[in-house]
Structures are given as structure tokens and as C-alpha cells.
Amino acid sequence: MRRTKIYPIIFLLALISGFGYNAKADELVSPQLGAAYVKLTDGTRNFSISLSARIDDKRVNITDAPVMVYAAGETGKKLLGTVKTSSTGKAVLNVGPDISLPENKDGNYTFEVQYGGNTKVTSATKTIQVQDVSLTMTFGEKDSVKTVSVKVVTLKGKGANTAIKAVPVEFYIKRLFCLYRFGGEKTDSAGISTAALPKKMPGDTTGNLVVIARIVENDDYGTVETIQNFKGDNPLIIEPKAKRGLGDTDAPLWMVYTLLVLLSGVWCHVIYVISLVVRINMIGKRARRKLQS
């Protein structure tokens, strides 16, 4: 009697757990959508996008997913482009400087990065709001020290420029595999930030240095950079490689003497072996003659 009462309870528990499992399996995953805004020297706006999700406590990249970038203004939205994520869950969209963008009432730009989702992943939106700024780089010299200055101004309405103060600007020199940071100062009341160029920094073979000034991930302006070439005084001198061979006259004396000793030893052994062979041959001939006589 007791066993017959237990069976319905077990069946009911199994049914409830099955419903719970199906509900969890059908639950959509919320993705993590990341987007970074960079304004390049020529005015191109670069959007670096990443899309991933956490599944079973593991971070999984969402690949081949279409992501749309809009510019939102007072009159509505404008589609700037659609890109698909790569095998690493990342995508890049470049918006040229010739494309007009709608502005907000305060003159700022609002960008919306949207992913529509699918049967397993929900949709996601990332909003970026920036104020359009421009960097102008100039070079000078003060007390025999070469300097680089950058003026930061806002671009609102029909080209009205207003200097921005107290914004950090970082200065770099482009090297072969990295960027060499040589300064970082906030702009003054005139919107100008200045740094001294390194004195002994070699450029290319003509002395040119690639100087980069950059506002990095600012909450109001995003990342903005400008790049210019600077004619330095220290051209890169490529010295020809000195030959190092056993027969070269430029070889060190210890190498020459060591080689002579080693080669002399080898040839002495060769001559000694040849003399032994000749001597053995002569002794054999003499012994054969004695036996014949």
C-alpha cells in the first residue's frame, strides 16, 4: 500500500523537474554588446564592435551576427552601415567624413549600435553620445627645445569653433612595433596642450618622425586623434653589416691564429699517416725480397 502511494509522488516530481528544464532550455541568452568610437585624422569615424554572451559560465563569441550602426538626431535615425561579426565576435565599421550626420539640439552626436538577436540570443543596443571636436597640431621651438602643440576645439552648428580647456591630450611617436609616449598634458584656457619632443629620438632614413596626438576614451568626446610628420634632426643611419668569415681579412687575430693551429694539426696528422703507409709498403717489399732470395 505504501509503495503504490510513492509512485504518483515520484511521477509528479519528475514532471515538475522536466518542465523546469525545458523552461531553462528555452530561455534566451542576454548578450554583451561593446562599442568604441574613434575619430581619425581625416575625419573618418571608426566603430569597433564586440559581441559575446555567457553560456554555461563560459564567455562565447557570437559570430556572423549582423550589427547595425545608426546616427540619431532630432529628426530621426540614419543608418550608417551594417557589419557582421567575425570568428572572434568583433567587427569594425568606418564612416567617411563626407557622410552628413544628424545632430541633437545641443549639437552633439548620438550613435546607436544595435543587434537584433536570434532564436537563442536576445537583442541588444549600445548608445554612444559624443561632442564633435577637432585637433590641430603645430610644431615649434622654445629655448632650443622642439615642441609640439595641439589645439582642441568643438565643432558645432555651422563650423563654430570653441576652445576646450582641461581635456587630457596624450602625445606619441610611432615606432616600428609600438607607440612611444613622450608627453601628456591637459589643455589650457585657450584649448592648447604642449609637449617637448625627445631630443635624441631617431626618425627614418630622412629624419621624419610620425607624431600622434590623441584624446583617449573621453566620456564627452570619445577617442580623437591627429597624425603629422615632423622633420627631425636625427636620421636613422643604417650601417652595413660587417662580414665575419674565415677567409676575411677583417676576422679577429685570435680567430686567424686558432684556425692556423687547427689546420696545421690536421695536415701534420695527414702527412704522418701517409708517411706510415709509405714506410709500411717499403718494409713489406724488403721482406718479400728476402724471402725470395
Domains of the chain plus CATH, in order, are: 26-130 (2.60.40.10), 133-231 (2.60.40.730)
Residue 23: its pLDDT value, please?
A: 40
Instruction: Give the pLDDT confidence of 15-62 residue by residue, as tens digits.
Output: 555 444 444 445 778 889 999 999 999 889 999 999 998 888 888 899
The answer on pLDDT for 161 being more than 80 is no
In this prediction the pTM is 0.67
Q: How many C-beta atoms surround the C-beta of residue 48 within 10 A? A: 14
Burial of residue 227 (CB within 10 Å: 0-12, 13-18, 19+) is middle
Confidence of residue 176 (pLDDT cuts 50, 70, 90): confident
One DSSP character per residue, 159-188 reads TEEEE--S-EEEEEEE-SSSEEEEEEEE--
